[in-house]
Amino acid sequence: MKFSDFVSSTAIRPNLSAEGKEDVIREMTTALVQAGAIEEGELESTIKAITKREELGSTGIGRGVAVPHTKHPSVDRLVGTVGVSIEGVDFKSLDGEKVHLFFLLISPPDRPGDHLRALENISRQLRDDTFCRFLKQSKTAEDIWQLLEEADNNQFVS
């Protein structure tokens, strides 16, 4: 499950303006709607589902990264996007640190394997400090997209 298989390039946000957890979720989900990956009518119910999942346990997995996600019947394939917050957002992460890198994932309800494979890919890349650093330093959506493509070509993972 490569990044290019599920990330909507036009939904990438290199400079999130949101300052709080709810706002980040809203900003990134809206980005997916604007990219056409999610229907506009499904925006609120998708945000609600993502928020509900966060209440079960923060997806701020530490090291400045969070992977908010949900299953949602309105998508027939896994869609996602990447957001970078320069200031950092308090996401109630497991290590108590602010989050700078966000990977939002929306998957169809009946395909848990896709979600797991995306998570596998994301976490493998994130274990590489260079990848994380370059991601945080990215200025444009295009920069981030190129970085994801390089990651897909195994430039970072040993």
User: Active-site positions?
Assistant: 69
What letter represents residue 9's amino acid? S
Using CA atoms, how far apart are residues 24 and 17, in angstroms rounded to an integer?
8
Q: How many CB atoms lie within 10 A of CB 22?
A: 13
Among 41, 55, 57, 96, binds other proteins (CB under 8 A): 57
Collapsing DSSP to helix, strand or coil, 60 comes out as strand
Q: Which one of 49, 119, 135, 148 is in contact with other proteins (CB under 8 A)?
A: 119
Query: Residue 113, interface with other proteins (CB under 8 A)?
Result: yes
Total length of the chain: 158
Rounded to a whole number of angstroms, the minimum distance from the CB of residue 61 to other proteins is: 5
Residue 109 lies near other proteins (rule: CB under 8 A)? no
Q: How many residues bind other proteins (CB under 8 A)?
A: 22
